[in-house]
Amino acid sequence: MTEVERITTGIEGLDDLIDGGFPESSVTLISGGTGTGKTTFCNQFLMEGISKGQKCLYISTEEPIEAIRDDAVVFGWDLRKHEDEGDLRMEYSEPSENQYLSGQVKQLLHSGDYDRVILDSMSVFTTYWGDKFEVRRNLQDLVKMLRKSDSTVIMTAEIPENSENSLSRSNVSEFVADGVVALYYESMGEGSFRNIEVRKMRRTDHTPGTHPVEITDNGIKMKEQAGF
């Protein structure tokens, strides 16, 4: 079997669950409810790439770029510095109809030879794409385009509240992505718990089940009791 090149995530302990990282040039969905750490995960993934001399692109469709920069500062990540140095490009792309969206994403991908790309969030995209059939077709086209870029891509999606099975509002994103990582946040009594689960990862012998994580001053990490 041909060895798969791996892209480290920057999440302490996570790479041990997925054979050393995401498959190179793959598209992975990071899914979770509000406040589960999706943006932190994305920023951490970018900072890992930058630390290795890689070029990164962050496309936001919901949060203003300035808000993302401010969130990163909390963890000591100066995104603007890396933008100024040319390691990182951050763009806000307001979704509209599909042709415009796909064209804009394609233009951004071709604007530089990016090693890592964030597309945050798919939840907004799918509201413009009609019924479930159209959403699936458009998402498949988008994922094909992302794979052809040779970048390792993270897409994000929001898990609807009170949803037992769905991992995105479209109920489609999780099926077209190469990998799915779900982030969970639960409150029980006076305590709260965070977990991570690798739901699928193509070309990867991943560890199943949920694993406890925490958000520290340095970002997301697996808890020690998870065996790391």
Q: Is residue 58 within 8 Å of 88, Cβ to Cβ?
A: yes
* 70 located within any domain: yes
Closest CA to 160 of 171, 146, 152: 171
Q: What is the pTM of this model?
A: 0.91
* 157 located within any domain: yes
Q: What is the pLDDT of residue 186?
A: 87
More confident residue, 225 or 168: 168
pLDDT score of 179 more than 50? yes
Q: What is the pLDDT of residue 100?
A: 59
Tell me the pLDDT band of 226, cut-offs 50, 70 and 90. very low
Burial of 215 (0-12, 13-18, 19+ CB in 10 A): middle
Q: Could you tell me what percent of the chain has a pLDDT over 90?
A: 64
Q: What is the pLDDT of residue 1?
A: 46
Burial of 131 (0-12, 13-18, 19+ CB in 10 A): exposed
Tell me the two tokens of residue 217. Answer: 């001053």
* 65 located within any domain: yes
- Total structural domains within the chain: 1
Please give the mean pLDDT across all residues of the chain: 88
Read off the CATH number of the domain in which 69 is found.
3.40.50.300
* 56 located within any domain: yes
State the residue range of the domain holding 74. 27-181
Alpha-carbon span 91 to 15, nearest angstrom: 28
Q: At what angle do helices 38-51 and 65-73 cross, to 10 degrees?
A: 80
Closest CA to 193 of 168, 217, 210: 210
Helices (H), 94-214: 98-109, 122-125, 132-148, 173-176
* 79 located within any domain: yes
* 130 located within any domain: yes
* 140 located within any domain: yes
pLDDT by residue (tens digit) across 37-83? 999 999 999 999 999 999 999 999 889 999 999 999 999 999 999 99
* 213 located within any domain: no
